[in-house]
Amino acid sequence: MSKKYLSEFLRNISNDLVLKSSFVKLFLSMKYSYLFIAFFLLSIVSKAQQTDLMPVPASVVMNKTNFRLSPNFSIAINGQADERLYKEASRFFQRLSERTGLFFKTWNVTIKNVNPLASLQIHSNKKGIVQINMEESYELLVDDSKISIKAETDIGAIRGLETLLQLIISDEKGFYFKGVTIKDSPRFAWRGLLISQPYHFMPMDVVKRTLDAMAMVKMNVLHLYISDDQGYTIESKVFPKLHQQVSGGNYFTQVQIAEIIQYADQRGIRVVPEIDLPGHSTAILTAFPELASIPRAYQLQDHWGVFDPTVDPTKEKNYVFLDTLLTEVASLFPDHYFHIGGDENTGRDWAKSIPIQAFMKEKGLNSTVSLQNYFNKHIQSILKRSGKTIVGWDEILMKKMDDSTAKAHFEKGEFEQLIEQEVPKDIVVQSWRGMEALLSSAKNGYKSILSKGYYIDLVQPTSYHYLNDPIPFRNKVITPDSEANLNRFESEIIKKIQNGEKILTSKEEELIIGGEATMWTEHVSAETFDSRVWPRSAAIAERLWSPATVRDVDDMYRRLDIISLQLEWVGSTHLKNKEMMLRRIAGVENIQVLENVIDFIEPVKGYKRNAANNFTKYSPYSLLVDIAVPDPSPLRAFNKLVDSLIQQPTAIQIKSLYRQLNFWKSNHQLVQAMAVNKPLLATITKHSASLNTISNYTLKFLEMKERLQIPAQQWMKEYMQVLNESMRPAGYCELLIGESLKKMVTNYK
């Protein structure tokens, strides 16, 4: 295929896909071989007629009509519409103008807009309340003459507007909405994202653009983590020492908290606060050491991890303090739920305290968990007076026992033996260590949400999060994702699920009310936050919104690349900041040769970055590991090419691989030249050198295969060593194309 013909072929496909595919973007940047891109564009053309929506609606029926956009486009709202809907319709108008370049007559939608001939008719039956189990369903109809959104509440109508924006398509005539009938509602009521503020503080602009992105993919809970060992991050008028002395200078005022809540409410998103107690409380104890279990000098932590400082649960005066503090915080957040943390209490400070040990003996409390349950009951009674229901990490429910005893109870179906018996039934358990807590919660009548498997800070592949389902029977990837997992009988759970066994009844499954992605910010800055949250969290949003049967990983990735570009329209910096940060460390404007390397490496996964224990709150977070992103599209494309070669090699695929390998060889020379006297490029140069060496060996291997030569055993041993060595982390980054090539070498025929 000639370059000219192929260019035209690609351009036609680009028009069909409206430049939504990241592979088209790669072609237009001229960074990768034509044949390499052509292979993947061909692989997705057959899917171009499928829905590009994310999350996938409950019901989608495409029709053959189109609604053409023009400057005369108008919006009318009728029914019982709240001010929220008028504001969101106006914001929709503005975003539509920005996306299409059309000069509409107005962006402002008011109560006067009741024209029955308006292009978009929105009907809401009543005002929605932003709370758990809010009504979010809607119906969307698009044909060649009109668009209509019908919803029970304005919140449902807002969800419909977000779907409509994803339906924009263009051709040589301009922009249009594809004809469709959609009936949609969420699968789970709780679809959240946690932002931890004490580690690295995320300022207002980050929070707001995160809320915009959450609304775009229909997430509906912002879990705002306020206090930990590293700081207390909101203003306190009752105890001003908290924000004045232990915030590190970074905190939201109460006025700003109100601004965040209003901004979220406008988009149909709840805001749930968390004050982590009784552990993870160094910040509070630094300001008020008299609350501590052990008398000592306290200071804010600048490292990451689990620390011993703990509030003393035996002193009545401590509950007076906490009553005042929690009542203040509760008054700032209108949501019905309040998160009290409860995780990772080491119990060591309690064990060292003679008075606390005497108290436990007197009260018949025989474990750290029992004493913490005693503490939690007091906190619950405090928050109940503010009308709050508590949420806590799974330690607030689970008993402490040895693995063999826990497994024995599981095998006998004795789930009641796995939990603390006196935990109030109206709490919500957030399961983060394993499926044991989720199952135990449901079996014992507690509501729960799943976070295990949604820890996006661990930079795991999107497919891992996508196939991780809150309903155990639907979960295909129950595997340990951290050393903190509660794995006492996880292998038995996996075995039962793989055998098709439903561990929970339908009624018990209803107690699992959703899931929450967690963005712990130990290793992110405001500059890198978006690249760790998006676009992967969009796949989690789909898992929690869409029907359980929507689980085609290849199609998810196809649509993820589309939504990734659309997220930039609401301000996400996950794409653009990578290039900006590369320019800084390179000291030059044209960093294309560096992108050709970084697009194939990933940050180390899990907690490997913590292993050296040399990162603190004040470490530089502007290095290659911070620029690299998890699950990059070009790496996925390369791995898919190699998989195709293994299954059924074709001439065009082999040529694509040849060109890519030769490309890396020539690119390495440019990287070396750019890296001279630039220490910050040392790591990327090392990975580029690995690509160069791998390319040399792989080209030799392919040539021998073409000539029907059998590679010498010693040479193959060297080749495998090269591949293994290339996968060793450097600069907390991994080059993982070696895994695919090892499979190819083993299976290539």
What are 441-486's pLDDT values in tens digits? 999 999 999 999 999 999 999 999 999 999 988 887 766 556 567 7
**Cα angle for residues 369, 373, 374 (degrees, 5° grid):** 120
pLDDT band at 104 (very low <50, low <70, confident <90, very high): very high
Residue 282 tokens, joined: 């160094």
Report the pLDDT value the prediction gives residue 7, as an integer from 0 to 100: 41
What is residue 483's predicted lDDT score, i.e. its pLDDT? 57
Contacts of 631 (CB under 8 A, 6+ apart): 460, 461, 462, 463, 536, 602
> What is the C-alpha to C-alpha distance for residues 282 and 293, in angstroms, rounded to an integer?
11
* CA 593 – CA 597 distance, rounded (Å): 7
Peptide bond into 535 cis (omega under 30): yes
Q: What is the CA radius of gyration of the chain?
A: 27
Q: What is the pLDDT of residues 505-563, one digit of tens each?
A: 999 999 999 999 999 999 999 999 999 999 999 999 999 999 999 999 999 999 999 99
Is the pLDDT assigned to residue 12 strictly greater than 50? no
Q: What is the pLDDT of residue 612?
A: 67
Using CA atoms, how far apart are residues 72 and 87, in angstroms rounded to an integer? 20
- The answer to whether 681 touches 674, Cβ cutoff 8 Å, is yes
Whether 19 has a pLDDT exceeding 70, the answer reads no
> Using CA atoms, how far apart are residues 369 and 365, in angstroms rounded to an integer?
9
User: Confidence band (pLDDT; 50, 70, 90) for 22?
Assistant: very low
The one-letter code for the residue type at 721 is Q
Q: What is the pTM of this model?
A: 0.93
CATH 3.30.379.10 correct for 59-184: yes
> Which secondary structure element, helix H or strand E, spans residue 198, and what is its range?
none
Q: What is the pLDDT of residues 215-232, one digit of tens each?
A: 999 999 999 999 999 999
What is the Cα–Cα distance from 643 to 664, expressed in whole angstroms? 19
What's the rounded Cα separation, in Å, for the pair 512 and 464?
Answer: 20
Give the contacts of 359 (CB within 8 A, at least 6 positions apart): 314, 365
> 112: pLDDT confidence band, cut at 50, 70 and 90?
confident
Which alpha helices (H) appear in 118-173, and where do they start and end? 154-165
Q: Can you give the pLDDT at residue 566?
A: 97
Identify whether the C-beta of residue 489 lies closer than 8 Å to the C-beta of residue 495.
no
pLDDT, residue 18, reads 36
Q: What pLDDT sits at residue 11? A: 41
Domains 59-184 and 190-569 alike in fold: no
CATH superfamily of 190-569: Glycosidases (3.20.20.80)
CB-based contacts of 519, cutoff 8 Å, min separation 6: 193, 194, 195, 196, 456, 457, 529, 532, 533
- Residue 298 structure tokens: 């306290």
- H/E element, 337: strand 337-341
The structure tokens listed for 272 are 């749930």
Q: Where are the domains of the chain?
A: 59-184, 190-569, 575-747
Count of CA atoms in the C-beta half-sphere (13 A) of 142? 25
Residue written as token pair 């619950």: 380
Residue 237 CA to residue 243 CA, distance in Å, equals: 9
CA-CA-CA-CA torsion sign (465, 471, 474, 475) = positive
Taking the alpha carbons at both ends of the chain, their separation in whole angstroms is 25
Picking from 381, 379, 396, 385, the residue whose alpha carbon sits closest to that of residue 444 is: 396
- pLDDT value, residue 615: 84
The DSSP string of 229-284 is: TTEE-B--SSSTHHHHHSSTT--B-HHHHHHHHHHHHHTT-EEEEEEEESSS-HHH
Q: What is the mean pLDDT of the chain?
A: 91
Does the pLDDT value for residue 635 go beyond 60?
Answer: yes
**Among the listed ranges 62-71, 471-480, 683-692, 733-742, which one has the minimum average pLDDT value?**
471-480
pLDDT score for 21: 37
Predicted confidence (pLDDT) per residue in 274-314, tens digit: 999 999 999 999 999 999 999 999 999 999 999 999 999 99
- pLDDT higher at 245 or 35: 245
If 0-12 CB within 10 Å is exposed, 13-18 middle and 19+ buried, where does residue 613 land? exposed
Contact 577, 528 (CB under 8 A): yes
Beta bridge partners of 150: 123, 139
Beta-strand ranges (E) seen in 497-631 are 512-519, 601-603
